[in-house]
Chain A
Amino acid sequence: MRRRQLVGLLWHWHRRVGVLAAFFVLVLVITGIVLNHSSALRLDRNFVDWPWLSQAYGDDSGNLPAFQLGEHWLSRAANGRVYFNAREVAPCRGKLVGAVAAGGLLFAGCARELLLITDSGELVESVSASTGLPVPLQAIGLIDNRVALQASGTWWLADLDQMDFNQRAPAGGTVIRQLVPDRLPEGIRKKIPVPNQWLTWERLLLDLHSGRLFGLAGVLWVDGIGLLVASLATSGTAMWWLHRRRKRRRTSGD
């Protein structure tokens, strides 16, 4: 490719990439500078008082879906912990997707963890992907009084004695009993501690800076902006070098 064509190509892309990245670079610069002084600005001690934003973070403290198992209720509070009635049992990773009772135990299925709980609310065991659980869990139910878990659209029978989750549930005509989530009774809900304010301005700015505010897509977008800035630095340097070389040649030609 001739030098002139190359410079033209670089200009073509440098301008477009510059315009595309400009807004996001400004956001990154501003949030980065402010975060550098977050302690002095007391951002780590001041809280964001926007309920809609807390809800976007998964804080459903005002609306706890719960499952009724006999006389007891299982729910997962905004602090990420599963409650047996108003008694805290254990942290549970991911949204509570269902609950069942079988073999004298209660099973609370969260997206990334399965809790086995006694009928008095004690944690028997926590099972996660590291101990063989298929994740993310989509649902939990009972097939002939055996615990069945749904993951990747398939129902698996759970053998919790052997920690084996590799047996597919029989296909066709199988009855899977599942509980429908209900609203936690007011008397129990009032006893579950409402989480203190936790969303600080520092956290919000950090999540905005890293893109985490918008989940994985946001993180990837910020990665992409980083690449665009790197490409701007490269194309800018290349154009400067080509321009300098041309100038020198002209000078030496004179």
Chain B
Amino acid sequence: MRHLLSTLDLQRADLEGVLQLARGFAEVQTRDIPKVPALRGKTVVMAFFEDSTRTRVSFDLAARRLSADVVNFAASASSVKKGESIRDTIETLDAMGLDAIVVRHRSSGVPQQITQWTDAAVVNAGDGWHAHPTQALLDSFTLTERFGSLDGKHIAICGDINHSRVARSNVDAFTKLGASVTLVAPNTLLPRSLEGWPVRVESNLDRVIADIDVAYMLRIQQERIADSPFPTLREYRSRYGLTVERAANMAPDAVVMHPGPMNRGVEIDPEVANSDRSLVLQQVANGIPVRMAVLYSVLGPGRFDPTTAELIEGAAQ
């Protein structure tokens, strides 16, 4: 894998390859010294042009646990604020010599654009509404861990689909791995065109709540008041929130997921977020081995290389 820009570039076998590699790295997390020398001597730049806490920390830890050198680049403290073009910024970083750039940007397509201006591997850590491939991988990893496989599972993704890179990447990854996906949202939160999307659309959450294996809740932006896609947060919660009452109608082994940060009491009740159904903290924990697998896939000798297993096993010594 040269870059990781979108799950759309990956086939089912590629996704499964990364997940399998991630299982190896998950074992590393349990060791006294959770670190392997796999990327020793490699330099990874965290180029976060948009604020992020969990994704940034997760990538940072993943790179360090692979023994890579990590450089943090915060847009707020950089030349970007002075009006420098993205091309200039990237070429400047590139001139310092680096092996991978992990990019988060508020605009769709920036990671893809960056590949023209650097020889480094580019890993998309979330771009605009477009894609968040490592989130999709860690969510798939978490569900595989829970259910063994996604084949035949029914997943409802509920909330602001239109503005969500997580929804776009997860629909693609979940369906490629054999799950069926239903989008649950009012029309004002759905993309205007869903042509070609392998999904069903449901406007009534109660109609599917008992049939699903996974309720994947998306964050509702409380900040936006103008052009609001729904009348009030209260009305949204009453129709689309995963309330305690609604969660009670879920199948006994059905689970709840959320990419964070959560608006407790809006899209998900705090009791549900903290319940046994909730995989939210597993999602966060799994982010590290999955991102180790991704960094290793773009910088290491290749995920199907026989040395892979040795590197992981040998690292404990």
Do A and B share a complex?
Answer: no
B interface vs A, CB < 8 Å? none
A interface vs B, CB < 8 Å? none
